[in-house]
Amino acid sequence: MPTMEVLLAFLAASALITIAPGPDNLMVLSVGISRGQRAGIGFGLGCALGCFVHTLWAALGIGAVVVASEHTFTVLKMAGAAYLVYIGVMSWRFAGQATLVKLDDGAVEPISAHLRRGFIANVINPKVALFFIAFLPQFVDPARGAVWLQMVLLGALFAAQTVLIFGSLGWFAGGIGKRLQRQPALAIWLDRCAGAIFFALALHLTNATR
């Protein structure tokens, strides 16, 4: 177990990193504003769960293998970019509607659908894997026990604070979006702006290097 001082320092650093503007923040905000609070919160929770997966990869050494392989890194990078483009296209295609995709009974998509999108968008981003490989070991002390177990614990704490912050961002953005979407014409442009953000993030990811 890391010391309390280390845990507090880790949580402080993690919160600052999570709050700082970045791809995940932009996605949560854009989904929340364009699709509402349920969608924003769901997408944010999905990203948080994805962070824990990256933690497991880092602890087990899988993340290092991915980053070390140029081919694997490129494949994941392009897959992540393609998925972001897909979400962006759906935002444009269904601009102004209540959901990206309508269910058979016409009901609004459940929060689990947005959670799944956030999870996939985060997990297949190799830049996130690279971040955890570089970030977590800085707070690990081999003298205090199994390194992998300390990394899993730290990753769980990171994911927990991400749930709070991203969930709050989604709720806040959704509240703003709810007011803005009372104007149908504006709702269409909100969806298109969200789509443009996903396109830009996809382009940014394709240019990413290790």
In a domain, 179, yes or no: yes
Q: How many domains does the chain have?
A: 1
Tokens at 136, concatenated: 């977590």
In a domain, 47, yes or no: yes
In a domain, 121, yes or no: yes
In a domain, 118, yes or no: yes
In a domain, 109, yes or no: yes
For residue range 187-205, list pLDDT tens digits in order: 677 777 877 888 887 887 7
Percent of the chain scoring above 70 in pLDDT: 85
Question: What range defines the domain where residue 55 resides?
Answer: 24-183
Q: Tell me the pTM.
A: 0.77
In a domain, 154, yes or no: yes
Arithmetic mean of pLDDT, 78-99: 75
For residue range 108-143, list pLDDT tens digits in order: 677 888 999 999 999 988 888 888 888 888 888 888
> How high is the pLDDT of residue 66?
64
Q: Are 93 and 201 in contact (CB under 8 A)?
A: no
Mean per-residue pLDDT over the chain, rounded = 81
Q: Are 49 and 42 in contact (CB under 8 A)?
A: no
In a domain, 124, yes or no: yes
In a domain, 149, yes or no: yes
